[in-house]
Structure 1
Amino acid sequence: MSSVSAVYNIRMLPNKFGRIVLGLYSSRSSSVCGVVQTTVSRNGFSWTAVCKKRTLWLQRCAGEQTQQHNQQCQSSTRSVHQTTVDPEELKRFQTLASKWWDENGEFKALHAMNDLRVPFIRDNLLNVHKAHHPGKPLAGRRILDVGCGGGLLTEPLGRLGASVLGIDPVEDSISMAQLHSSYDPDLGERVRYRACTLEELSADVAGDEVGLQAGLFDAIVASEVVEHLADLETFALCCGRVLKPGGSLFITTINKTNLSYALAIVVAEQLLCIVPSGTHDWEKFISPVELERHLESNGFSVQSVQGMFYNPASGAWSWANSTAINYALHAVKVAEDPKSEPQSDNQDSSEATH
């Protein structure tokens, strides 16, 4: 989507929201304080106050974050010893488990995202695997849907012919996914669910010495998941362990920018209530550069990164030139397990650079 069309779409939003988003979108390279100083709502809401408060908070946290980052880097090991699950996130999604299939509820935006993410996954897999199956283009492919929730993405991938395993640590969400898929006989044996974490599945696959290759996947999908994880390094490591060499990893998430804070949290959660308040933590958002660093250090080569934009007025997603808010990433596994072969780290790093 060009910048001109993006601005046109924003101008079509309701007046109050349109003025806010247009100012933010057109100035996304500036600091959020400079963007919003002149934007004040009719009820006296001050964007300047929001910015000042957030800036002070970020300054207080900067030293602590740097120290934590250094400690994580120093304590990084070659084995999985962390968990990807954040207990607070677990509680939050537990309360929403019954609402996954309400297309006009809290997950409305995720339902609409299928218009972009399903073709994104399908087309990239077809480029990697040249075999075509009329009517079932993903037939023969084994896909792991990490953080599947109620199966909003798992089911359409199954209808494309793939054999899909959806995993989620929230048991009630898995129960909802199983119930919903049972209504569609076309899914049959192609869609399965399991209440577990990625690291638990990784341990099971690694322990299956006889059928190890049979337990690996052709593709992994983690859509709107990584911004809720407790440990991204463990996530990347486990993905590499359950994915076949040459397999694909698909991620959609939110960039860590001032613009994403303003739109995804202040506007979406606090002003428009598009998503429940507290759904996102800006400190967990990750930039494409940082995400690519984690992936390449675990044997992945990033193939593409594409910006995404959600229009709350139309309820539709579209591709965008900018990755300042949401983005989709496709990576391919190029090494068996680079962390088990430290002598070849330099070679792997060179091969993974794009």
Structure 2
Amino acid sequence: MSTINADPAEIQKFSELAHRWWDPTSEFRPLHEINPLRLEWINQRIPLAGKNIIDVGCGGGILAESMAKKGATVTGIDLSDKALKVADLHSLESGVSVRYKKIPAEEMAEMEAGQFDVVTCMEMLEHVPDPASIIRACTRMVKPGGHVFFSTLNRNVKSYLFAIIGAEYVLQLLPKGTHDYAKFITPAELTQDVRNAGLELHAMRGLSYNPLTKMYSLNNDTSVNYMIACTKPA
């Protein structure tokens, strides 16, 4: 079998925090706060009710569960045992059914190619050695005519100051060492990767944090956090 496209240190980092995943006051507070914005943006582009969806790099299941609450059939995949156990337990407690699997995206793409109406891959590409491989796997998993969503961090001076210095050190919104600036991905690079994988890019949105109001908002500023919406040609 080929080498798994994952950094063991990254998996370990998130595994150590897994028990805090569903605590909205923990290190995962930013995920809880941006999740409604991401969810609504996705749901506006493709109503999720009745859709078969896979969330790649699902972690503790925050986005996966919220999509299931919209009436979707959701699968979440990740490589962290601890995060998946937390996700499973929360699913049982909340009564929101999600299928969770520990499997690399590339392997899942071999097993369930063309099976999903929607593929989401949020805040993951900047944590893997080969993001283009993940993008190709997501493309294989989605049905022709289906939708794929990615979110990641731009690579520039502002994103370094905001996402690392600001978020990890000054405001302490995230644990120190959460991000590696060298792995950040510019919109131009991500656009190239999705097109190389055979996807069509339809929309891009920025996600900004205002430290004064402590609120996140969706806008056209893609200089730090951003999301893209793609489709696979029918």
Global fold match (TM > 0.5):
yes
Q: What is the CA RMSD across the aligned residues, in angstroms?
A: 1.6
Q: State the identity %.
A: 39
1:196 aligns with 2:103: yes
1:102 aligns with 2:13: no
Between structures 1 and 2, the one with greater strand share:
2
Identify the residue that residue 122 of structure 1 maps to in structure 2. 43
Write the distance in 1 (CA, Å) between the matches of 2:133 and 2:172. 32
Q: Report Cα offsets for 1:244-277 as digits up to 9, x if no partner.
A: 0111111121111110001111121122221100
Deviation at 1:139, TM superposition (A): 2.6
Write the distance in 1 (CA, Å) between the matches of 2:212 and 2:66. 25
Deviation at 1:94, TM superposition (A): 1.3
Q: Superposition pairs for residues 96-245 of structure 1, below 5 Å?
A: 96-126=17-47, 138-185=48-95, 187-188=96-97, 191-205=98-112, 216-245=115-144
Which TM-score applies when normalising by structure 1? 0.64
Identify the residue that residue 154 of structure 2 maps to in structure 1. 255
1:278 aligns with 2:177: yes
Deviation at 1:81, TM superposition (A): 5.0
Q: Report Cα offsets for 1:26-52 as digits up to 9, x if no partner.
A: xxxxxxxxxxxxxxxxxxxxxxxxxxx
Deviation at 1:82, TM superposition (A): 5.4
User: Could you tell me whether the CA contact under 8 Å between 2:139 and 2:148 is conserved in 1?
Assistant: no
Write the distance in 2 (CA, Å) between the matches of 1:309 and 1:323. 8
Write the letter of the residue equivalent to 1:223: M
Write the distance in 1 (CA, Å) between the matches of 2:9 and 2:44. 35
| Larger-Rg structure | 1
Q: Report Cα offsets for 1:102-148 as digits up to 9, x if no partner.
A: 1011000000001210101101113xxxxxxxxxxx23201101111
User: Could you tell me whether the CA contact under 8 Å between 1:307 and 1:322 is conserved in 2?
Assistant: yes
Identify the residue that residue 83 of structure 1 maps to in structure 2. 4
Write the distance in 2 (CA, Å) between the matches of 1:323 and 1:239. 22
Write the distance in 1 (CA, Å) between the matches of 2:123 and 2:106. 18
- Give unpaired runs (5+ residues) of structure 2: none
1:295 aligns with 2:184: no
Write the distance in 2 (CA, Å) between the matches of 1:312 and 1:229. 28
CA spacing shift, 1:197–1:313, aligned 2, 3 Å: farther
Matched position secondary structure for 2:40: helix
Write the distance in 2 (CA, Å) between the matches of 1:149 and 1:226. 13
Write the distance in 2 (CA, Å) between the matches of 1:92 and 1:103. 19
Q: Report Cα offsets for 1:291-336 as digits up to 9, x if no partner.
A: 010010111000001111012443321022221111111011127x
- Give unpaired runs (5+ residues) of structure 1: 1-79, 127-137, 207-212, 336-354
Between structures 1 and 2, the one with greater helix share:
1
Matched position secondary structure for 2:46: helix
Write the letter of the residue equivalent to 1:97: A
CA spacing shift, 1:82–1:293, aligned 2, 3 Å: farther
Write the letter of the residue equivalent to 1:121: I
Q: Say how many residue pairs are matched.
A: 234
Write the letter of the residue equivalent to 2:124: V
Write the letter of the residue equivalent to 1:319: L
Which of 1, 4, 13 does residue 92 from structure 1 map onto? 13
Write the distance in 2 (CA, Å) between the matches of 1:197 and 1:316. 34
